[in-house]
């Protein structure tokens, strides 16, 4: 069985992430969406909340599951006996950061390969950080995150201020 790990901060999951998950689920037997800690990013939702939001939106995708992990991605992959990392690429601006991470992960474990999936054009401008900012200042986040989680993102953003 070919398992792919789709790691990220997902704070919160966006429609761009969901699109990558759905497309990956058509290519791999199993996709594990893995919520990890990115030490460079300040969080809005805690890790368990992020997992719950993702679970809410992947309901009908039978071969997708969600987990979280506190540690190195390659260690999680070893535990799962998985070799493939999926990452979404939006623009050239993502490339340097993603390239560096892919090389680092491959250095830490040469069995691990990163597969990049180009974002759909309609989501190429979309990021969790821009969603957080729009929500914080009371803007409309319809179409940016899945409908099922809009209210949770808006209310969390209000209390976070
Ligand atoms: O959605 P993000 O924030 O771009 O995802 C980055 C993430 C969480 C995948 C990355 O920070 C990560 O892998 N964190 C876990 C620690 C790790 O394994 N780091 C090694 C790569 S430098």
* pLDDT tens, residue by residue, 57-101: 998 899 999 999 999 999 999 999 999 999 999 988 789 999 999
Contacts of residues 134-137 at CB distance under 8 Å and 24 or more positions apart, as own/partner, are 136/160, 136/161
In Å, how far are 7, 12, 14 from 114, measured between CA atoms? 11, 22, 21
Show binding-site residues for substrate.
9, 41, 73, 87
pLDDT bin (cut points 50, 70, 90) of residue 42 is: confident
What are the extents of the domains in the chain?
3-160
Considering only CA atoms, which residue is closest to atom 14 of ligand 1?
38
Question: What is the fold of 3-160?
Answer: Rossmann fold (3.40.50)
Q: Is 54 exposed, middle or buried (0-12, 13-18, 19+ CB in 10 A)?
A: buried
* Centroid of ligand 1 to alpha carbon of 140 (angstroms): 29
- Is 41 a known active-site residue? yes
- Is 128 a known active-site residue? yes
Query: pLDDT: is 61 or 39 the higher one?
Result: 61
- Cβ-contact 4, 28 below 8 angstroms: yes
Q: Can you name the residues that pair with 103 across neighbouring β-strands?
A: none
Considering only CA atoms, which residue is closest to atom 21 of ligand 1?
101
């Amino acid at each position: 069985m070919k398992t792919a790990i789709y790691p990220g901060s997902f704070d919160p999951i966006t429609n761009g992430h969901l699109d990558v998950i759905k497309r990956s689920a058509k290519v791999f037997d199993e996709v594990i969406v893995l919520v990890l800690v990115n030490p460079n990013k300040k969080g809005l939702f805690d890790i368990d909340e992020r997992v719950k939001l993702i679970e809410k939106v992947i309901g009908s995708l039978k071969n997708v599951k969600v987990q979280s992990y506190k540690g190195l991605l390659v260690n999680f992959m070893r535990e799962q006996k998985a070799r493939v990392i999926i990452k979404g690429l939006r623009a050239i601006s993502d490339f340097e950061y993603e390239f560096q991470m892919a090389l680092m992960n491959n250095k830490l474990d040469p069995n691990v390969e990163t597969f990049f999936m180009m974002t759909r054009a309609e989501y190429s401008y979309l990021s969790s950080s821009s969603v957080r900012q729009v929500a914080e200042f009371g803007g409309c986040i319809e179409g940016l995150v899945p409908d099922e989680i809009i209210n949770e993102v808006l209310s969390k953003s209000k209390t976070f201020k």
